[in-house]
Chains A and B, each alone.
Chain A
Amino acid sequence: QSVLTQPPSVSGAPGQRVTISCTGSSSNIGAGYDVHWYQQLPGTAPKLLISDNINRPSGVPDRFSGSKSGTSASLAITGLQAEDAADYYCQSYDSSLTGWVFGGGTRLTVL
């Protein structure tokens, strides 16, 4: 059971918009710790997608955006493309566990 809760899977057709939620608690996201998002393409290492809740590293398309409110965060992907099919993970810090925590991951299927 992950500390941060994500839906196991989401799907969308090319060109559509999808969102992936990440729900935490008062000891992590709700405590004000930043949320970061990672994309893991099949058979590869994870890659930083969104940092500090809303920031896109250089090279990440602006189709990807992040938001955070209260004890939750979301990743939105607009103009869905086949190459976006991947596993997505949210990550924060938890003061009760005194460690870095991940969501269980969400598999995005592009129909």
Chain B
Amino acid sequence: QVQLVESGGGVVQPGGSLRLSCAASGFTFSHYGMHWVRQAPGKGLQWVTFIRYDGENQYYADSVKGRFTISRDNSKNTVSLQMKSLRSDDTAVYYCAKGGDGWLPHFVNWGQGTLVTVSS
């Protein structure tokens, strides 16, 4: 079965950096795009970024463009999210999600999430 395990969350000061990772198993990782979605405490879901199956194209929400970078290593079945210039409104649980089939894939499977807290 599909398993997605996020790691790397923690407490970071405003302006700092953090790198999240998501280890995938149970499917042919190199065939699927991957998303990151976040959820601020007590709030709804917000799409953050998407990377296509081969890593050639990445897409970002305006709120993170220029600060966050998504990447993947198909040899290690991992997708990463490098976050810099972090702000208090980046505080959230970050989920990685496996994309479905098609050009605009939805979120088929989700990890358990990792909490990022931006605070001084």
Q: Roughly how many angstroms separate A12 CA and B61 CA in the complex, as a whole number?
A: 35
Q: Within 8 Å CB of A87, what residues of B?
A: 44
Report A16 CB to chain B, min CB distance, Å: 25
B47 contact from A52, A100, A104, Cβ within 8 A? A100
| Minimum C-beta distance from A32 to chain B (A) | 11
Please state if B45 and A38 are interface contacts (CB–CB under 8 Å): yes
Q: Return chain B residues, CB-CB under 8 Å to A2.
A: 44
Cα A11 to Cα B63 in complex, Å, equals 33
Q: Are B104 and A100 in contact (CB under 8 A)?
A: yes
Whether A46 touches B95, Cβ cut-off 8 Å, given contacts A91-B107, A100-B104, is yes
User: Closest Cβ of chain A: how far from B57's Cβ, in Å?
Assistant: 12
Give the number of chain B interface residues (Cβ < 8 Å).
Answer: 22
A66 proximal to B (CB < 8 A):
no
**Distance between A39 CB and nearest chain B CB, rounded to angstroms:** 11
Interfacial chain A residues near B62, Cβ < 8 Å: 97, 99
Q: Please, how many angstroms separate the alpha-carbon atoms of A47 and B110 in the complex?
A: 7
Secondary structure dominating the interface of A: strand
Contact B113 A38 (CB under 8 A): no
Q: B29 in the interface, Cβ–Cβ < 8 Å? A: no
B111 touches A46 (CB 8 A): no
B45, A105: Cβ atoms closer than 8 Å:
yes
List B residues at the A interface (Cβ < 8 Å): 35, 37, 44-47, 50, 59-62, 95, 100, 104, 106-113
A-B contact pairs, 14 of them (CB 8 A): A2-B44, A34-B106, A36-B107, A38-B45, A38-B107, A40-B45, A45-B113, A48-B106, A57-B108, A91-B45, A99-B47, A99-B61, A100-B106, A102-B47
Interface residue ranges, A against B (CB under 8 Å): 2, 33-34, 36, 38, 40, 45-48, 51-52, 57, 87, 89, 91, 93, 97-105
